[in-house]
Each structure stands twice: as C-alpha cells, then as structure tokens.
C-alpha cells in the first residue's frame, strides 16, 4: 500500500484524476472501476476538463461502478446511475452501453449480483478501481463484518451510513436501506486500487484502515492486502496517521510521481 497526503482536497483530487488519465492514455481500452459520493465530484470534474481541453479519450474504455441502491431506478436523482451520468458519462465521449452499474430494480437481486460478477469477468477484470471510504469504514457498500472474500451481493446499510447519506435524500423514508455492492473480494481482484478520502471526519477511519489491524470491522483495511493500492488523502483526512513523515518521504522520492510533482509545482506557481 502507498499513502499520499496532499495539502488540500483539490490537490488530492488532481492526483487521482492524473492517475486515471494516465491509465486511459496508456491503455485506451481500460476497464475502470468507478465510485460515487461527494468526494469523487472533484475527480470527475477534472476528468471532464481533461476531456474538453486535452481530448482525454473515453471512447474505448468500459466502466463498472462499485454499487447501487436497491429500489432506485436509474432516473432517480439519488441513484448512482444518475450521479454517474450527471458527473461524468454525459460530459465525455463514453458509450453509455459500456458503462455498468448494478441494477437495484432487478426482480431477482441475487441473479443480478451474479450477472454483475460475470460481466466483470467477461470484460477481463478491472484494471483500476477508484474507491472512497464511508464513515463506517466501508468501501463500496461493504459494511463492517463484510468478509474479505465477499462477492457482489445485497448489503444492508448500517446506521452510520444511513446518517451520512441521508443528506442527499428528502427524508428518512425515502432513503433505501439496502444496496447492491461489489464484494471486498471482488475489489481485491482489481489490478490496481486507488482510494481517495478528504476531510477531518474521515481521519479516524482512514487511520484505522491504513495503520490498524486487518479486520472485517473496517472493510477498507482489506486494501493493506492488495499489492497495488494507493491511498490519496488531503491533510485533514491524513491528520491521524502516525507514519505521515514516512509517507511523505516515499512520495517525494518515488520516480513514478515525479511528473505529477512537477505539474503540481508549476500549477502552484501559476
């Protein structure tokens, strides 16, 4: 696992967008795993800018989102399909037929989950999976006690998640209590994982996920077992990490990040 602490939420989003753009440029037919949530807004708006200003090409890629609420149709403003269309898909040159989210309206939810796993497999697996972290420590909607071997399935949301995501709904009655989510095991099979977290309210969970013991009580801690996972944070989300100095040293000295460090310092100078 590598941990990168950027000075601000905007710099952290820049880095994540830079990683995704690099993946797309190197492999235009990449299979991207995508995530939703307010944290991802900055990443998608930068990718849209790169598409408009630099011609970043999405025409060859395929995407699979982590999760979707059970009971919300794609047209519902709070569905993750709607979020993705609004923030990214409708603003870049991606073929909507190549974009996948679980169908939370499926009559047979178990069959839908199996189908989603099969689709990912048929696409050749996910090259790069973007992730956020919930206040419960979830990745996707894998709540505490999710097995590290879990596959795509229906998960019941815990109170901390309901409380966190309630702000997007008109009231508690409108908020779904279940979601379809890729499993922790599904996520660990992706070739590369990039988790983005910003803000002080994520700091404690980030510290438990990155520096705490591997435990299904903190599903994001499973990323410690992934051989190519990068955790990108702003200073607030990284504020409870004990190893911050070590992470900074690694980032500053790793040749892989040289081009980004150069671009970021040019931006800062204006």
Which pair of structure tokens corresponds to residue 28? 């235009």
CA distance 119 to 45: 27
Comparing CB distances to ligand GLP, the nearer of 202 and 257 is 202
**Smallest distance, ligand GLP to C-beta of residue 28, A:** 26
Helix (H) or strand (E) holding 154: strand 153-156
Residue ranges of alpha helices (H) inside 9-155 are 9-26, 41-54, 80-87, 109-122
Comparing CB distances to ligand GLP, the nearer of 48 and 130 is 130
Comparing CB distances to ligand GLP, the nearer of 31 and 205 is 205
**Smallest distance, ligand GLP to C-beta of residue 199, A:** 8
- What phi and psi, each to the nearest 5 degrees, are found at residue 100? -125, 135
**Smallest distance, ligand GLP to C-beta of residue 133, A:** 6
- DSSP-derived 3-state class of residue 27: coil
Residues 6+ positions from 244 with CB-CB distance below 8 Å:
5, 238
Comparing CB distances to ligand GLP, the nearer of 11 and 35 is 35
CA distance 60 to 70: 29
**Smallest distance, ligand GLP to C-beta of residue 270, A:** 29
CA distance 2 to 251: 8
Comparing CB distances to ligand GLP, the nearer of 68 and 127 is 68
Contact footprint for ligand GLP (CB under 6 A): 35-39, 66-67, 132-134, 140-141, 161, 165
How far lies 228's CA from each of 73, 117, 191, 238, 248, in Å?
34, 21, 7, 20, 18
Comparing CB distances to ligand GLP, the nearer of 223 and 257 is 223
**Smallest distance, ligand GLP to C-beta of residue 263, A:** 25
| The three-state (H, E, C) secondary structure of 108-138, written as one string | CHHHHHHHHHHHHHHCCCCCEEEECCCCCCC
**Smallest distance, ligand GLP to C-beta of residue 96, A:** 21
Comparing CB distances to ligand GLP, the nearer of 23 and 36 is 36
Neighbouring-strand partners of residue 142? 139
**Smallest distance, ligand GLP to C-beta of residue 108, A:** 22
């Amino acid at each position: 696992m590598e941990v990168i602490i950027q000075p601000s939420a905007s710099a952290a989003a820049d880095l994540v967008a830079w990683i995704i753009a690099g993946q797309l440029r190197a492999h235009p037919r990449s299979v991207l795993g995508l995530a939703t949530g307010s944290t991802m807004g900055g990443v998608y708006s930068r990718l849209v800018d790169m598409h408009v200003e630099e011609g970043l090409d999405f025409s060859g890629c395929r995407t699979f989102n982590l999760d979707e609420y059970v009971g919300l149709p794609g047209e519902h403003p709070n569905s993750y399909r709607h979020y993705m269309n609004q923030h990214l898909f409708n603003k870049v040159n991606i073929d909507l037929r190549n974009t996948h989210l679980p169908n939370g309206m499926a009559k047979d939810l178990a069959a839908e989950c199996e189908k989603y796993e099969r689709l990912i497999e048929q696409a050749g697996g996910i090259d790069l999976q973007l992730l956020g972290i919930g206040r419960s420590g979830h990745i996707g909607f894998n709540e505490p006690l999710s097995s590290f071997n879990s596959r795509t399935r229906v998960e019941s949301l815990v109170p901390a998640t309901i409380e966190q995501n309630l702000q997007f709904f008109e009231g508690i009655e409108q908020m779904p209590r279940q979601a379809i989510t890729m499993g922790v095991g599904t996520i660990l099979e992706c070739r590369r994982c990039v988790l983005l977290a910003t803000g002080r309210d994520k700091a404690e969970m980030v510290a438990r996920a990155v520096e705490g013991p591997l435990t299904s009580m903190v599903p994001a801690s499973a990323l410690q077992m992934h051989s190519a996972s990068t955790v990108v944070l702003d200073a607030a989300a990284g504020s409870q990490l004990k190893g911050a100095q070590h992470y900074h040293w690694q980032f500053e000295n790793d040749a892989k990040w040289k081009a980004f460090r150069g671009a970021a310092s040019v931006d800062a100078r204006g």
